[in-house]
Amino acid sequence: MRNIELQSSISAGEQDRRDALKRGNRFLGRVVACSGSRATISAIAENGETSLTELWSVGRLISITVGENRVVALVYSMQTATNEWGEELDNTFRIEVELMGEVHLSANGREEFSAGITQYPYLGAIAHRIRSADLARIYDTGKNDTCVIGKLTQDESLDASIHVPSMLSKHFAIVGTTGVGKSTAVSLLLHKAIASDPKLRVLILDPHNEFAAAFPDIAVVIDTDNLDLPFWLMKLEEVAEVIFRGRPPVPEELDILRDVIPEAKRAFKGSTDSGLARRTSEKSSITADTPVPYRMADLLAMIDERIGRLEGRNDKPYLRSLKVKVIGAINDPRYNFMFSSNTITDTILETIAKIFRIPGEGRPVTTFQLAGIPSEVVNSVASVLCRMAFEIALWSNGGVHMLVVCEEAHRYVPADASLGFVPTRQAIARIAKEGRKYGVSLGIITQRPGELDPTILSQCSTVFAMRLSNDRDQEIIRSAIPNSSISTTSFISSIGNGEAIAFGEAVAVPMRMRFTRVDEKSLPKTNGVAVKVTDETPDTVDLRNVVSRMRAMNGPDISSFQNAYTASLAGQEQDAAPVDDDLRDIRAFDADLAADQEAAASQPYNPAMLPRNEPPNPQLERFNQIRSQLLSEEPATPPRSDPYRAPPRPAPSFAQPHPDTPRPSLRESLLKKPLSSIIRK
C-alpha cells in the first residue's frame, strides 16, 4: 500500500517538471556561498514583484541541482541585500539554507533520498522549488508498517507518516505549551499505536482526568471511587511517603518500619500457610519491599509490643510517634482506596489483571485518574504502577507489550534532583533506560521540557515538538535534535496550533507537519464532558449542592481493623512480658477517650453547648467532661510491681516521700496537672 501511494505521489510530482531556468516558476536563484552544512542563495525580484518570494519562506525545503543529483536544503533565514525593498526596482535578496541530504539514483535505477551528501553545491548551482515527488521520497520511512498522522505543512497534498514500532521501541515525547493540542495529539498517536500492535497495553497517568473521554470504547477508567490498590504492594519508601505525608521520614522511625513490616508479613503468611517447612525457607527471603500481604493491625501490635519491652526505652518516643502517624493515615478519608478492604487477602493477580488489562477483553487502555488523590499519594501510586509495569514486561518474556504514558511528566521526574519523589524517578528512569529490552515503552508528555530530567528526555528517540514560548524549553529541544537540523527549531515558537516538528527514529528526516483532526468522540475532555455555554445554561448555581459535594468524603471502614488490633493486643498481653506502667496508663487513657468520643458522636445535639455571654472553649469543656468521667472510674488494671524497676527519683521538694509510696501513674499525673498547661485557651 505504501509503495502504491509513493508511486502516485511521484507520478504527480513528475508533472511539476518545468524549465529550470524560467524565472517565476521553479527557478529561485544561484548558490553564492557554501560550507559543509549551509549554503547561501542569491536571487533577484525584478521590478519589485513579490510573486517569486511568495514561493519561499522559512521552514520550507528547496532543491539545488548538482549534476544528476538534487541536494535538499531547509530555508531558515531570508533578507534583502540592502535591508530595504524598492518598488518597481530589482531587489536582490539572499536566502540562508541548511543542507539536509540529496536525491540520487540508486543501484537499481530508482531515485532515492539519503541524509548524506556526496556532491556539494558549487558556486552558481541553480536552486529551485522542490518537486512533490522529491518531498514524497524525503519523508518516506522506507518501511511498510507506517501510519498517517497528518499532512505536511509545506505541501498538504502529501501525508505525514511515522513508523509506529520505531516510535514505541525507544520511547517518545510530546512537548508544547498549554493549548497547542498536546492531548489531542496523544489521543491520535495512541489510537494509531493500538491499531498497529494488538498486544499493546496502555497505562495513562492522567492528572487532569481528561483521557477517559478519548477512549470511550477501549479504555477502563480507574479513579478514587473504584481504585483498589493494596498498601502492601508498596515498597518501604512508598509506604513512608504515605505515612509521613510527603515529608522527609524520621530516620529512627523509618528503621522501625524496616524491621516490623517483614515481621507483619511473616505473621500473615504464618496465619494462612500451614506448611512449617515452607515458612522456614521463606523467612529470610521476605523483606520490607516484598509484595506480600500483611495486616496493619499486626503492624501496630508489633509496635505496641516494642513499646512494652523493658529494654530500648530511648526508642519509645519514636515508636509512639510512628504509631500515631500510622493510625492517622488509616483514619484519613483520602487514603480510603488503600485501607478500605475489611479482609486482607492476596489479591495481586486481580490487581494486575484489572490495572494492566491482562487479558484486555477488548479494552487495552487504562486511564488512571489522579485529580482527586493527594499529592503524596500520587507519588506513591505513580511509583507502584511504573515499577509494576516494568516488572510485568520483564517477567512475561515479551508476552506483554506495555506503554506507560506520563502526562505532566515534569511532576514525576523534575530536572532538580532534590525535588520529586525518588522512587517514582527511579521507576520511570528504569523504563527509559532498560524498558526497550523487555517490551515496555514510555510516553512523555510535558509543557515544560526545561523542568524535565534531561536524562529521561534524551532516552526518547522520537520527539514531537509543538509550539514552545519559553527560551529555556526551546534550548532543551534544540539540544535533543541532531546537529544537522538545528535550524529546524528556529521557528518553533511561532508554529500554529496542531502543528509539530517531528524528528527521531519514527521519521526519515525532521518534518514540519499538522496533525489530523480527531473525531469529536475521541477528543480528550475534563471529566469526560465538554463544557459548552448555551441559552439553556442556568445563570445561577446551587452553592449548597456544590459545597455538599466538596464535603462528601466518607472515611474508611476500619471496624475489622479495630477488631483485629484489639485481638492482637489481647494475645500479646497474655503471652508477653509484663508491660510497664506508663504503657498501661496510655492504653487505658486511649480506650477511655475512644469510648467517650464514640458516645459523644451517638448523642443528639446538646442545647447546653449553645453560646453564652462569654464564648465557651470547646476543648476545655471536652477535657472537663473526660476528666470527670475518668475521676469517677477506678483504674482498669492496678500497676504491677516490678523487682527490676529502678526506684523513682526524689521530687524536687524539701519533703521527701515515703519509700513505700508508689509512683503516680501517667494517667494520674495528667489528671492532676493544671488545665492551663494542657489546653491552650
DSSP string, 572-612: HHHHSPPPPHHHHHHHHHHHHHHHHHHHHHHS---GGGS--
Q: How far is CA 105 from CA 13, 70, 73, in A?
A: 16, 10, 18
Give the confidence band of 482 by pLDDT, cuts at 50, 70, 90: low
Please compute the mean of the pLDDT values over residues 451-466 and round it to a whole number: 88
CA 333 to chain centre: 23
pLDDT digits (tens, 9 = 90+) for 183-229: 899 999 999 999 888 888 899 998 888 888 888 888 888 887 777 77
pLDDT score recorded for residue 642: 46
User: Counting Cβ atoms within 10 Å, is residue 466 exposed (0-12), middle (13-18) or buried (19+)?
Assistant: buried
Percent of all residues in the chain with a pLDDT value above 90, rounded to a whole number: 10
Where in the chain are the domains?
A: 2-138, 161-228+347-524
Residue 640 neighbours by CB distance under 10 Å: 11
Please compute the mean of the pLDDT values over residues 161-190 and round it to a whole number: 89
pLDDT score recorded for residue 483: 53
* Bridge partners for 91 per DSSP: 45
Give the confidence band of 293 by pLDDT, cuts at 50, 70, 90: confident
CA atoms within 13 A on the CB side of 494: 5
pLDDT digits (tens, 9 = 90+) for 588-606: 555 555 555 554 454 444 4
- Which region among 51-60, 233-242, 498-507 has the lowest average model confidence (pLDDT)? 51-60
Most confident of 117-126, 360-369, 650-659: 117-126
8 Å CB contact between 647 and 567: no
Q: What integer best gives the mean pLDDT of the chain? A: 75
pLDDT digits (tens, 9 = 90+) for 34-92: 988 889 999 888 777 776 666 677 778 889 999 889 999 988 888 888 888 878 788 88
Give the confidence band of 10 by pLDDT, cuts at 50, 70, 90: very low
Alpha-carbon gap, residue 163 to 191, rounded angstroms: 14
Q: Of 312 and 12, which is predicted with more confidence? A: 312
pLDDT score recorded for residue 630: 57
pLDDT at 649 over 90: no
Q: Of 571 and 438, which is predicted with more confidence? A: 438
- CATH of 161-228+347-524, picked from 3.30.43.10, 3.40.50.300, 2.170.270.10, 3.40.50.150, is 3.40.50.300
Q: Of 295 and 646, which is predicted with more confidence? A: 295
Please compute the mean of the pLDDT values over residues 109-137 and round it to a whole number: 87
pLDDT score recorded for residue 573: 53
pLDDT score recorded for residue 581: 47
pLDDT at 607 over 70: no
Q: At 113, is the secondary structure helix, strand, or coil?
A: strand
φ and ψ at 207, to 5 degrees? -75, -15
The three cell numbers of residue 271 are 496465619
Q: Rg (Cα) of the chain, in Å, rounded?
A: 35
